Structure 1
């Protein structure tokens, strides 16, 4: 029970304090509790049942090795013996466990086998964890006990020297090897004792200075430091030779240094290797990787998963080390791993497919936004597996064949919505990956994202409307359409863009209600249908969400009805619309509904835009509106590409104003696309060639920059502690050599836009 557990924890704390507390008389014993099951996530006193379950389900080979030397020493000795007896099947396998042997091989092969070449390397050497040290002797003997003692019980000795003799007697090691191991072990233990007698310190590290090392040499019975170093070097290299002979036919996995994540402390050589690879926090790396081996996540609870992970570790860390910030990339990978339901297939895939692993590292290291997305929806990983990830993407997506068949006859559309989300999110993910891989540029990506959004929107409209009609029937002689505004209307969608929409309908005045079993009057009918469509697009599910929907551009904004009659919509635009609403209208286009009604609305929009004649009022309103936006702007960062002075909004203001001011005598300048409108204004000589070229260059650069920031993650970009790292990512995925070059180009382009803005609006600005 909880009460018993708390009593045990408090008793353990008291015992540790009594034994380890420093008083005027010194202390009794140092106590290390980190060998309990998963010490990073368990209390210091663990129930017998919990421990047994842990070792049965998640016990690691290094823990089997640790239990070789375990014995009960206090408390209920009989209970301790029973506990150790219950672990016999975990420790000793009757049949040769080749999977376990492979795991042990992997651990050993990740330790650098480079010998100590000269005595100068001995200053500061760790005689327990360093090359040729006590730990390697223990590993040499205990791994062979794990392999053979299941079949030969006489090898099951907790005392290392007795185990060494037993291995020799069974013919598993030679007599000469046994003698050399015995001599080395006793020698190193003697030096260990001498080191710890100095100042009563818990240390295994030799002094770094020659003078202090000479003191140790004399204290250990040597005449001088040279004699001591020669003897120690001989012992360490002897141990290393025997250690290197273990599984000598297996390929080395240690890269240019050791990478060991067994046990409960960071090996000095592993610490050095991680730092050399570029990890700034080796201890954090050790804690994360150790957590995987403890089976804390579903993906690492299976023994085979952990064995694959051990084999994969050098390859994984090496690949992550090639990212801008390896520590950050590893943390993101850890979050992704946490959500995976299983690990065997995943680890097998990335172990055998370096390109796939590099894809994953690219996402984890360079794009925190995509990394979080992948962590929330690990199924997106499937889209990286196929070769399609690098294939050109078609300009439109026929999701119909993938989704329409999922709709059951009874009208439950949840399966359809989930399948649509999954398919669409995979495509959005794929588009962004291809931008990072320079397979497509950001302009193409925007068009693809827009085509995808329109296809998904039309598909969901069709299915939701079908389900809605089943419940509420139809309204005779009526239609509803949707108009896209903003980036959706201009075919310039970016990652995480909202869909700006306005819903319109027409109906015969004589129709009072729908003809279904649950009839609705027209205004309520269309309002609820539009609401259902928006919810289907924006509501989050297990498969994520599709798009945020913004319908505030409808007449009278938030206070107006969600769906407006077509005639009233155009009457509003003609008589009541603000200038900013007319500017927004330059990017409006129908995206769903009956074709004939869409055509009629297109003509109505064009008629509205070509009927505006008060150029002076347009200019005054546009300038005042821009001034108000600048005054109210909260984010004044230079990386606010859209709203900063000289940014994308200023380009849009210039082009939208010029279209409104000139469309009444030349409707060919109208286009919902910003780039197309700019080029048409140039062709019509409304913008001179130099001004148009300057604006086009700025537009394309700023749209590229905004798209890349959206991929990397604008929310992360705003965090000062991440910004310098993410700026390096931006450079990596650009044609620029340094971030200073990007900033200089950004400042140059926004200055050019400011000059053009002044030229267009100077009469009012003055």
Structure 2
């Protein structure tokens, strides 16, 4: 007893969960000193298996049946490793060996004979025999099961010791199942030999058996196809074939002292369990062509002849393959497959995430995603027509349909989950896919997968990581909108054949089909991965381009961007995997030459197209921080401003896309562009000050600020706006004012030079002409000089211009001092007098008469035309000059905000404000649309119908809506002009 207790402690330390029980079992194995030394050596290997307690239990029982087994194991280390690996995982195979200890010797054989020959011999039917000699006695069924399990034992041993790769294991299990079906068919023939010469019967493996990726324990899915032999009656032949099929199924599933093999499931046949068990090939094809549901074609993807008449089976598979690879063209094919997957998920929801086959992140997630991609793309790419999941996934990756990293992660997850599934099933040789919760079971799984330290925690973490990745990638690939688009394409269009494509492109709305075909050829020719992905993308994108205002420009822009980014690993992967990016990119390129130009010069901005969040306007503070950091990284002023302009280019693109996508309104566009211009001016000013300071070898002797004027000051910039500004500086008291002015002048000139440097992006031109005395006056003045000028010389138009003045860049305190100085002029105490009002009205009338370009239609000029921007802005500014001194809410630089404040203060009727606001927004949207569409500014709606049509489409009108746009604009501006006549002119 003390010896057992001591042994128990030692065994527990070695890794046995129940040391006392293990000690008793060891004591039973060591009746003599000679066996004790043998057992001691065996124990050193036994403790390394997945479950030492389980292995020791089975070994003890095996030694009781065959006492010589210990010596054999001691003498043959490879045999010992194989047997212990099995006993440490599979209680069921341990039981089998206890019943059949002679099969231990199988584990000493590196390679067994061909399975089909062995199993046929086991049931008394030689492979080459023309007449079956099998009987249906219980002994025959038992012999089949014993021989089958012996093969299973041999395979499990090689699997668990790493001598067979996972793919080899599943393939061998599938072939073993085929051999068992052949043996069962031999039993069936012997049971009912009558009529065998009248029929040919083929057994088609489906599901995992057909794909050669079967589990250790699984139903074997089959379909039976039969043909009468020459001259035989079809009805009688089918009756004989049905009898054979039924007997074959019974031979596999019948209960015996050795249990059953597995269920043979013929439920995937036409009409399921309600349909005939056996059909002719013609009957199968007639059903599939007329009645089959989407899921049946998905199932047929795996079909493979496995037993019976293999020639007939091959003919069946060849015939249904044509249907399988055209199934994706069926109406709602992709949606049907996705809906079926959702129904499966609902069915297994009770088992939750621990269902590693059907649950979220399980095997079926991976298999369904791979199969759907195969069926959609495989109709045109024969290289994708693989039955097994991992080879199909590899082919999808090689063809560019799945990213390499995504494919790698899916393959790793699939392999891991299949290994776990096998370990679960080996334990009791039961069909299960649910992870256990008991710690001892999880420990066995973890150790079987190679984790000795913390096997439960390590296994759980690996499983959750793989399941999470599998689910993420499943949702990414399986619900990829690109699949629906590809599936719906006619085959001629999908192949982009030259003859049919030109006509198709013209029908889609391409003005230059030959030019479009040249772009397509340039993008898709060759055997590179890039060309392969383009061949997948382009058929869909051509349709998306066709839905934009200018398909030809969209395709040209796509080629230009692709030429710049085509060798960048993430670009095409992003378009393929994130369909929202590709769809939005098509819309932008086919709508806006302005945005296309920005993108071709900042192609990495494609990444912004993925989500609405990416297109949200960035806060000015964040932009300024990024711009300042860019300036600080460069000692050279030109390089610093080039970096800032690259940032501006990207942000202009962000704003343009958000505008085109309807994510921001015209007021938000104006604010975003104005803030971006402020940031650009500030960053360029920093670079200019740094350069001037370096050249002077002294700090700047004055404070310097940039005052925004015009549309910049009003936070109403358009894509084509210049930056109207004034420059102000303020030297310290007692300093040399001349030196300060020279330094300030140098800074202002350098700022203008830096922002005017040639660059691929739209320039930000600095326009200082609104300064006192215009172009004749000094470029830069001191604050005191501005105050003196305005006090003595200012005209009414200058007071009106100052209504837009606000701080933009430079010294913020100086900017505040300037605007405080301006307040006295723009918000005069008591408001402007009648004389000033008459002067303002006279200036407005003169501007309408003189500044409108020659030949321009006053009804269609968005800036100076009747009811246009100028009309609305002058109304707002007159209200400010008259009333802002007593109504602080009017003290804003923004037009629409002024009008709303005037309504709140009772100075303007709400209906008038609505009319004026509608006209201002319409004119502003059209001005921006002109720049977006043409890539160059314009103030009038184009006279040419094609350009007008593009602008109308960009603004949301239907393809034939250009006249509607004209009518709508005339209507809103006519109403606005009536308000202007009454409110501004007092008519």
The two structures have a TM-score, normalised by structure 2, of: 0.47
Mapping 1:578-617, distance limit 5 Å: 578-611=795-828, 613-617=832-836
For residue 622 of structure 2, the aligned residue among 363, 375, 398 is: 398
Match of 2:436 in 1: none
Q: Relative to structure 1, is the Cα distance of residues 312 and 469 closer, same or farther in structure 2, using a 3 angstrom cutoff?
A: same
Q: 2:704, 2:810 within 8 Å by CA — same for their partners in 1?
A: yes
Match of 1:757 in 2: 980
For residue 362 of structure 1, the aligned residue among 587, 605, 608 is: 587
Q: Deviations along 1:439-488, whole A, 9 cap, x unmatched?
A: 22222222222223223333332343234223325578732211111111
How far residue 387 of structure 1 moved from its aligned partner, in angstroms, is 4.2
Match of 1:274 in 2: 505
Give, in whole Å, the separation in 1 of the partners of 2:834 and 2:924: 29
Mapping 1:247-396, distance limit 5 Å: 249=385, 255-259=489-493, 267-292=498-523, 303-340=528-565, 342=567, 345-384=570-609, 387=611, 390=614, 392-396=616-620
Match of 1:671 in 2: 892
Return 5+ residue gaps in structure 1 as ranges.
1-173, 178-242, 296-301, 514-519
How far residue 293 of structure 1 moved from its aligned partner, in angstroms, is 5.5
Match of 2:745 in 1: 527
Give, in whole Å, the separation in 2 of the partners of 1:500 and 1:408: 26
Q: 1:316, 1:357 within 8 Å by CA — same for their partners in 2?
A: yes
For residue 665 of structure 2, the aligned residue among 441, 451, 462 is: 441
Give, in whole Å, the separation in 1 of the partners of 2:902 and 2:380: 75
Q: 2:508, 2:546 within 8 Å by CA — same for their partners in 1?
A: yes
Q: Deviations along 1:208-254, whole A, 9 cap, x unmatched?
A: xxxxxxxxxxxxxxxxxxxxxxxxxxxxxxxxxxx999769389889
Match of 1:571 in 2: 788
Match of 1:620 in 2: 839
Match of 1:27 in 2: none
Give, in whole Å, the separation in 1 of the partners of 2:727 and 2:384: 72
Q: 1:482, 1:503 within 8 Å by CA — same for their partners in 2?
A: yes
How far residue 567 of structure 1 moved from its aligned partner, in angstroms, is 1.8
Match of 1:636 in 2: 856
Give, in whole Å, the separation in 2 of the partners of 1:577 and 1:753: 31
Give, in whole Å, the separation in 2 of the partners of 1:409 and 1:490: 32
With a CA cutoff of 8 Å and minimum separation of 6, indicate the structure with the bigger relative contact order. 1
How far residue 725 of structure 1 moved from its aligned partner, in angstroms, is 3.2
Q: Relative to structure 1, is the Cα distance of residues 475 and 304 closer, same or farther in structure 2, using a 3 angstrom cutoff?
A: closer
Give, in whole Å, the separation in 2 of the partners of 1:511 and 1:456: 30
Match of 2:473 in 1: none
The two structures have a TM-score, normalised by structure 1, of: 0.59
Give, in whole Å, the separation in 2 of the partners of 1:650 and 1:679: 16
Verify: 1:491 aligned to 2:684, yes or no.
no
Q: 2:615, 2:655 within 8 Å by CA — same for their partners in 1?
A: no
Q: 1:446, 1:493 within 8 Å by CA — same for their partners in 2?
A: yes
Mapping 1:238-253, distance limit 5 Å: 249=385
Give, in whole Å, the separation in 2 of the partners of 1:506 and 1:685: 40
Paired residue secondary structure (1:418): helix
Paired residue secondary structure (1:636): coil
Q: 1:425, 1:546 within 8 Å by CA — same for their partners in 2?
A: no
Between stretches 252-261 and 326-335, larger displacement belongs to 252-261
For residue 703 of structure 1, the aligned residue among 924, 934, 954 is: 924
Give, in whole Å, the separation in 1 of the partners of 2:559 and 2:725: 39
Return 5+ residue gaps in structure 2 as ranges.
1-314, 319-378, 387-395, 397-485
Give, in whole Å, the separation in 2 of the partners of 1:245 and 1:371: 32
Q: 1:475, 1:522 within 8 Å by CA — same for their partners in 2?
A: no
Q: 2:903, 2:909 within 8 Å by CA — same for their partners in 1?
A: yes
Verify: 1:471 aligned to 2:695, yes or no.
yes
Q: Relative to structure 1, is the Cα distance of residues 489 and 715 closer, same or farther in structure 2, using a 3 angstrom cutoff?
A: closer
How far residue 563 of structure 1 moved from its aligned partner, in angstroms, is 0.6
Larger Rg: 2
Q: 2:553, 2:590 within 8 Å by CA — same for their partners in 1?
A: yes
How far residue 747 of structure 1 moved from its aligned partner, in angstroms, is 1.8
Match of 2:968 in 1: 745
Instruction: Calculate the aligned-residue CA RMSD, in Å.
Output: 3.7
Give, in whole Å, the separation in 2 of the partners of 1:526 and 1:283: 57
Q: Relative to structure 1, is the Cα distance of residues 342 and 596 closer, same or farther in structure 2, using a 3 angstrom cutoff?
A: same
Q: Deviations along 1:358-415, whole A, 9 cap, x unmatched?
A: 121111111122123223443433433x547545334434135434444568833444
Match of 2:645 in 1: 421
How far residue 606 of structure 1 moved from its aligned partner, in angstroms, is 0.8
Q: 1:293, 1:306 within 8 Å by CA — same for their partners in 2?
A: yes
Q: Relative to structure 1, is the Cα distance of residues 602 and 720 closer, same or farther in structure 2, using a 3 angstrom cutoff?
A: same
Q: Relative to structure 1, is the Cα distance of residues 362 and 551 closer, same or farther in structure 2, using a 3 angstrom cutoff?
A: same
How far residue 578 of structure 1 moved from its aligned partner, in angstroms, is 3.0
Match of 2:49 in 1: none
Q: 2:771, 2:777 within 8 Å by CA — same for their partners in 1?
A: yes
Verify: 1:459 aligned to 2:683, yes or no.
yes
Q: 1:580, 1:622 within 8 Å by CA — same for their partners in 2?
A: no
Paired residue secondary structure (2:726): strand
For residue 540 of structure 1, the aligned residue among 719, 741, 758 is: 758
